[in-house]
Structure 1
Amino acid sequence: MTRTGVLAAIPEGPRERLMELSHEVSFPVEARIFEEGGRADRFWVIRTGSVDLDMRVPGRRAAVIETLGAGRLLGWSWLCPPHRWHMGAEATTPVRAWEFDAAEVLALCERDPLLDHALLIYVVEVIGRRLRSARTRLLDLYGPYGSGSAG
């Protein structure tokens, strides 16, 4: 199996230990996987399909911030107190994913510094990318001159 995304960022031994904690799940089209503000106690690695991340905008429809596909990490809020989802997520196609219980992963990270470091570095990169995506999308939708990006 080709490794992409978060699984490619974690060294083989720690990755195998992490995968031992996973179980396969699936979501139908239009399934709400989580809601902004809800309790973040798990995360997923998407195997197939796509998921839209959205953000509530007062007085308007939720804004789609980013679309995630195979190999991408779905959910990072489980890592950062207060452990509440910062966005919502909805399947836009049928989705198959590996699901992880956050408490189990955090306990494994305490015992496995290589996993802890690799996962933390990857999640920080994800947070940065999603923050930039949210800023650009919200400026495009609601700013007087858009984001100024040509794409």
Structure 2
Amino acid sequence: MTEPRRLLDGLPDAHRERLLSLAHDREFPADTRLFDEGGPADRFWLLRSGEVALDLYVPGRLPPVVETVGPGQLLGWSWLFPPYRWHLGARTLGPVTAAEFPAAEVRALCDAEPELGHRLVLCFTAVVAERLQATRLRLVDLYAPGGGGPS
């Protein structure tokens, strides 16, 4: 397996190896729906290639894209926080390759190795903060007067 880098760079080698031992290589064709907002968040991915659009459910409209993630980036953080439901939806924009991690096994590893769990939570919290900021900016762009959405 080619090692996903960006997120895992902050982990000591031993922690990175234990986490990667849980990963499975995955490939997704273009225009594949990976998950829907509100669905069970039971896995996450580190993207190796391709792009995934994160979207928001809006009744009566096509879901607006709030962010796009690409190679080296994390896809999915909802698996870490109860009730383990996706906060956004995701669709591949083209072919995607990724390392897929099973959420329950990663949570069990974090419980068994608190230092690894702490470091991983810090990594994911930084991603959550970035993702929320990007979503806020995109929504302002879509819905503010003069933006791309209805005024």
Give TM-score scaled by structure 2 length: 0.91
How many residues matched?
Answer: 147
SS in 2 for 1:59: coil
Identify unmatched segments of 5+ residues in structure 2.
Answer: none
User: Secondary structure in 1 aligned to 2:127?
Assistant: helix
Deviation at residue 83 of structure 1 after TM alignment: 0.6
The question of whether the paired residues in 2 share the 8 Å contact of 1:34 and 1:88 is answered with yes
User: Separation in 2 of the partners of 1:8 and 1:111?
Assistant: 21
Q: CA deviation at 1:2?
A: 7.3
Q: Is the 8 A contact 1:45 1:71 kept in 2?
A: yes
Partner of 2:60: 59
Aligned to 2:94: 93
Superposed CA RMSD in Å reads: 1.7
Q: CA deviation at 1:58?
A: 2.8
Residue identity opposite 1:58 in structure 2: P
Summarize deviations over 1:95-132 as a string: whole Å, max 9, x none: 01111111100111112223211110011111111111
Cα distance in structure 1, aligned partners of 2:97 and 2:3: 16
- 1:82/1:3 Cα in 2 relative to 1: closer, same or farther (>3 Å)? closer
In structure 2, the CA distance between the partners of 1:2 and 1:42, relative to structure 1 (3 Å rule), is closer
Q: Which amino acid aligns with 2:52?
A: V
Match of 2:46 in 1: 45
Counterparts of 2:109 and 2:3, CA distance in 1: 24
CA contact (8 A) 1:7 1:71 kept: no
Identity of aligned residues (%): 51
**Counterpart Cα distance in 1 of 2:114 and 2:146:** 46
TM-score, normalisation: structure 1: 0.91
Q: d(CA) in 1 for partners of 2:58 and 2:42?
A: 24
| Partner of residue 149, structure 1 | none
**1:70 corresponds to:** 71
Distance in 1 (alpha carbons) for counterparts of 2:94 and 2:110? 32
